[in-house]
Every structure is written in structure tokens, then in C-alpha cells.
Amino acid sequence: MANHLDLEEQEQLDQLKHFWNTWGTPISAVLLVVMGGLAAWNGYQYWQNRQASQAAALLDAVEVAAQAKDQSRVEQAFTDIKAKYSGTPQADMAGFALAKTMQEAGNLDAAKSALGWVAEQSTDAGYKAIAKLRLSSVLMEQKQFDAALQQLQGSFPPEFEGVAADRKGDVLMLLDRRSDAVVEYGRAYKALDETIEYRRMVEVKLNALGVDPQSTSSGAIASPDVKK
């Protein structure tokens, strides 16, 4: 009986050796790839979490400096976060904080620079849209109307289309392009949900130009008082 068991064990051992000799190397290679992938993923997750944590600390420094209205400290903190964590949402928010601080201080060029960086460098479509809208406001304040209009060209995420069209209408009015402004206000009116109060503001602008907002839904805007 013992000899019989020994023979079975030897056969199983031989089969195992044969299997490993045949498939051992491919299996080892696959295991190495899988384990390496898991290690890389865990490493990447750790790096991302560390980046986010450090970027958040710098953003805190930006916000503290902004509340204190310390322009130099805000600029320095924003410079640091741009240099080290430019791909993070915290860098975008730091840009907005700097722009707000500088705009309130009357330093419109610095505000314009911060917003321009977010508009160009942000990886988030929403932040890019907000930066372009705010940048257009700063340019309007500087009476750089053509430059403001340029920031509003191209496509915007759907949730920003109405606001962008309304802002474009404002710029066109300042350029005395009234009929073009009516077209943009009409687009804004159609894009904005009827439950949003902002839509009422657009309606008032159209009414002031002698246009019935409801006529914009058909695309036929009739207004003898509107001149280009």
C-alpha cells in the first residue's frame, strides 16, 4: 500500500515538474507583469494623493494671503503652486483667488494674467470657461472690447453657453454692434432654463432693444429700432 502511494505521489510530482517546465516561464512573466502593474498603480495613487495634499496646503496659503489682501504673498504662493502642481484643480482655484485679489486692488493687468493662465492651462473645461468669462469682464473694464470678444469665441460647455452668449451681447453693445448683440442675447435667452432668474435679465435687455424674446425662438428677430 505504501509503495502504491509512493508511486502515485511520484507520478503527481513528475506531472507537476513537466507542467512547470512547460509553463513556468510564461506564468512567471505574467505574474511579474500583473504584480508590476499593481505596484505601479499603487505608486501612482500614492503620488496623486500626495500631490493633491501638498497642492491643497499651498492653496490654503493663497486663500489666507488673499483674505489678508497681501498681494505679494498671494502672487508668491500662486507662483509656487503653478511651478509644482500646475495640473491640479487647486492651481486653478489659486489663479481665481489671485485674480480676485488683484482686481479688487485695481491691478487689472495682474488679474488678467492670472485668469489668462487658468484659461490656457487648466485641464478642467468648467474652470477654463469660468476663467474666460471673468477675463472678458476684466478686459471690458479696461475697455479692450475686441480682446474681450475674442475670449468669448469658440465653444463653451453647455452649462456656460447661455452666460457666454449674454456676455458676448454686452461686448457687442459696447462696440455699437446692436443687431449682432440682439442675436447673441437671443441665443442666451434660448440657452438659459426658464426657471433661472438670469434669463429674466436677458429678457430685459432684449425688451430694452425693442425685441420680443419669444420671437428669438423661431430665429426671426424683427426689431425696426435695432441698428447695426
Does 79 lie in the same domain as 50? yes
Integer angstrom CA distances of residue 62 from 100, 166, 203, 218: 12, 31, 39, 48
More confident residue, 159 or 16: 159
The gap between the terminal CA atoms of the chain, to the nearest Å, is 108
Rounded to whole angstroms, the Cα distance separating 74 from 113 reads 14
Number of independent structural domains in the chain: 2
Which residue range(s) make up the domain with 190? 152-228
Q: What is the pLDDT of residue 18?
A: 67
Dump the DSSP string for 49-114: HHHHHHHHHHHHHHHHHHHTT-HHHHHHHHHHHHHHHTTSHHHHHHHHHHHHHHHHTT-HHHHHHH
More confident residue, 66 or 76: 76
Does 185 lie in the same domain as 85? no
Does 117 lie in the same domain as 210? no
Question: Is pLDDT at 214 greater than 90 in this prediction?
Answer: no
Q: What is the pLDDT of residue 30?
A: 66
CA angle 200, 202, 208 (to 5 degrees): 105
27-34 long-range contacts, CB within 8 A, separation 24+: none
Q: What is the pLDDT of residue 59?
A: 72
- Residue keyed to cell 477675463: 135
CATH number of the domain enclosing 53: 1.25.40
Q: What is the pLDDT of residue 184?
A: 96
**Last residue of a domain, which of 114, 140, 166?**
140
Does 209 lie in the same domain as 125? no
Q: How does pLDDT run across 68-99, given as a tens digit for each residue?
A: 777 888 888 888 888 888 878 888 988 999 99
Q: What is the pLDDT of residue 177?
A: 95
Integer angstrom CA distances of residue 46 from 40, 58, 110, 187: 10, 19, 35, 46
Q: How many CB atoms lie within 10 A of CB 222?
A: 9
Band (54; pLDDT cuts 50, 70, 90): low
